[in-house]
């Protein structure tokens, strides 16, 4: 969850075919293209199209034959070289992928994508100096190439040059001033670079972008009971939506009105439209889940609350970052108020996490009482925790449920164990630190600080993991080794997944949902045995 760790994975494309995607477009099925190539055996374009189709279908062997044939027909053409670079990348031959990418980049001095591909190959081969040179060349060719700036920032962070990384994100913010993640990263980088006043301003700016929550009661909000008044307000809000179609807040308000009048489909449409406009809109995500829950669509509701939990966690890191920056700038009173606000938001994550688990279980057994479902979720987590006592993710999820159920001491113990097992587990550190702070216990400040002040060794490990993940062949071999040779392979794999989520290479919300789904499946299996 740490935004500084997440920066290590930003811009790290795992396949060259994604870098060269515009040049690899396919127009037709592979069978149609094979017939065309057979009819025109001297057509470079036909052969490259056939190669593109094979590459799309994950058939590197046939793709390589087509691209080689095209290259033999025209050794100066860029398309066969691009295809061969991508094929070698798919096969895990980074040296050959680099050679072909370099030929494309040298042939066209204005091709920024080719320069980026060369840089990416160098970085994955751990030739960081060459990578940096080529990323800078890519930016000379296209100053708005985000991925190149993100990789230069990651390299700077790996080397401890926080100011250079902050400067790259300053340029990224110029490209999109409303990018909340970029602002949060800039705030963290400026704080690490020793510029707390700049960090305070950036965190405050990021929090201003986030739509306000109307109150702390995330799962409900009062509206007028009078039908005539409801109809009048609905009509006015519909006009506002029509006049300002890009205003997501108006769509949420209209969704609330439709929901109150029992118009389920129209309410869902408005909430979903708001999220199409602003995917990180926490209130819209919560209200979409609430509407699904009212309609007994428990699986959809669980997914929405799971996504909302991740969004609330992002607010937590923003407020904690602001508090740390205010503290470093000598604004002690302001920092205390900010930490108090973060502490008031922490239970929302616990509530949303508990709702996601409870509703996922009810999706299997709709008739089940909600409180019973939640207790069964806690028991299922406890059983899995006893089987895998070193799984940090299990300790975290159990802590969230127990804290939500009021079992504070037990929850804090599980948070502490999660952080002990996985020191870069930012969400666990934040929840544990805020819990300690509320009870005036020692260690709260150190835990909160760990979200943005990462040891060099942790940064280095996550950077190297990112480069390994960006080589799918090697990564799969490493993963297979964990599964085959480690007696506790499941725990080790979960730890690896957690680290990949830390650097943003695996989606956190989807990873959490996978865990929620696994708990429900395990409970269903237990029920079948007992039945």
What pLDDT score was predicted for residue 64?
97
Average pLDDT over the chain, rounded to whole?
90
Q: How deeply is 303 buried, as exposed, middle or buried, from its count of CB atoms within 10 A (0-12, 13-18, 19+)?
A: buried
pLDDT over 70 (residue 224) = no
What pLDDT score was predicted for residue 483?
76
What pLDDT score was predicted for residue 487?
62
What pLDDT score was predicted for residue 217?
38
What pLDDT score was predicted for residue 225?
67
Dump pLDDT digits (tens) for 78-118: 999 999 999 999 999 999 999 999 999 999 999 999 999 99
pLDDT over 50 (residue 507) = yes
| pLDDT-derived band at 180, boundaries 50, 70, 90 | confident
Q: Which residues contact 105 (CB under 8 A, 6 or more apart)?
A: 111, 114, 115, 117, 118, 134
What pLDDT score was predicted for residue 209?
77
Does residue 478 contact residue 469 with C-beta atoms inside 8 Å?
A: no
Question: Domain residue spans in the chain?
Answer: 12-150
Q: Which residues contact 496 (CB under 8 A, 6 or more apart)?
A: 465, 479, 482
- CA 471-489-390 angle, 5° bins: 115
Mean pLDDT of 289-306: 96
| pLDDT-derived band at 443, boundaries 50, 70, 90 | confident
Please report, rounded to a whole number, the percentage of residues in the chain having pLDDT higher than 90. Answer: 69
pLDDT over 80 (residue 214) = no
Highest CATH level, class, for 12-150: mainly alpha
| pLDDT-derived band at 379, boundaries 50, 70, 90 | confident
Picking from 70-84, 162-176, 481-495, which range would have the lowest pLDDT averaged per residue?
481-495
SS3 string, 253-309, reads HHHHHHHHCCCHHHHHHHHHHHHHHCCCCHHHHHHHHHHHHHCCCHHHHHHHHHHHH
């Amino acid at each position: 969850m740490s935004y500084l760790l997440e920066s290590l994975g930003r811009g790290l494309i795992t396949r060259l075919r994604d870098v060269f995607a515009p040049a690899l477009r396919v127009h037709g099925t592979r069978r149609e293209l094979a017939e065309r190539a057979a009819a025109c055996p001297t057509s470079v374009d036909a052969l490259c199209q056939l190669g593109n189709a094979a590459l799309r279908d994950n058939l590197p062997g046939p793709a390589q034959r087509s691209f080689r044939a095209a290259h033999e027909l025209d050794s100066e053409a860029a398309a066969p070289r691009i295809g061969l670079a991508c094929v070698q990348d798919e096969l895990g031959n980074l040296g050959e992928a680099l050679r072909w990418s370099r030929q494309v980049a040298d042939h066209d001095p204005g091709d920024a994508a080719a320069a980026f591909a060369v840089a990416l190959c160098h970085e994955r081969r751990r030739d960081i100096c060459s990578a940096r040179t080529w990323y800078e060349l890519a930016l000379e060719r296209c100053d708005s190439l985000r991925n190149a700036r993100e990789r230069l920032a990651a390299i700077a962070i790996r080397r401890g040059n926080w100011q250079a990384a902050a400067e790259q994100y300053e340029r990224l913010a110029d490209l999109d001033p409303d990018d909340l993640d970029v602002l949060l990263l800039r705030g963290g980088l400026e704080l690490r670079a020793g510029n707390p006043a700049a960090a305070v301003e950036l965190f405050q700016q990021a929090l201003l972008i986030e739509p306000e929550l109307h109150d702390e009661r995330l799962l409900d909000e009062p509206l007028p009971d009078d039908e005539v008044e409801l109809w009048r307000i609905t009509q006015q809000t519909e006009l506002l939506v029509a006049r300002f179609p890009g205003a997501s807040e108006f769509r949420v308000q209209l969704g609330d009105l439709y929901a109150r009048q029992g118009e389920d489909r129209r309410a869902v449409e408005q909430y979903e439209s708001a999220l199409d406009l602003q995917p990180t809109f926490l209130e819209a995500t919560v209200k979409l889940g609430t509407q699904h829950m009212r309609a007994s669509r428990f699986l959809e509701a669980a997914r929405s609350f799971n996504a909302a939990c991740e969004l609330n966690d992002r607010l937590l890191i923003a407020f904690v970052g602001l508090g740390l920056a205010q503290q470093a700038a000598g604004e002690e009173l302001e920092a205390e108020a900010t930490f108090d606000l973060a502490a008031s938001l922490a239970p929302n994550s616990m509530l949303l996490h508990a709702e996601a688990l409870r509703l996922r279980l009810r999706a299997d057994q709709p008739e089940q009482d909600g409180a019973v479902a939640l207790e069964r979720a806690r028991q299922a987590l406890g059983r899995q925790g006893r089987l895998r006592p070193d799984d940090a993710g299990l300790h975290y999820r159990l802590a969230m449920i127990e804290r939500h159920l009021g079992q504070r001491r037990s929850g804090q113990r599980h948070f502490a164990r999660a952080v002990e097992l996985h020191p870069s587990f930012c969400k666990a550190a934040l929840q544990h630190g805020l819990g300690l702070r509320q009870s005036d216990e020692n260690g709260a400040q150190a835990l909160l600080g760990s979200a943005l002040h990462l040891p060099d060794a942790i940064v280095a490990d996550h950077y190297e993991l990112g480069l390994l993940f960006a080589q799918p062949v090697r990564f799969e071999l490493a993963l297979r080794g964990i599964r085959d040779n480690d007696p506790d392979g499941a725990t080790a794999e979960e730890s690896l997944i957690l680290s990949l989520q830390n650097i943003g290479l695996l989606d956190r919300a989807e990873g959490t949902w996978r865990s929620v789904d696994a708990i429900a499946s395990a409970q269903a299996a237990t029920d079948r045995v007992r039945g």
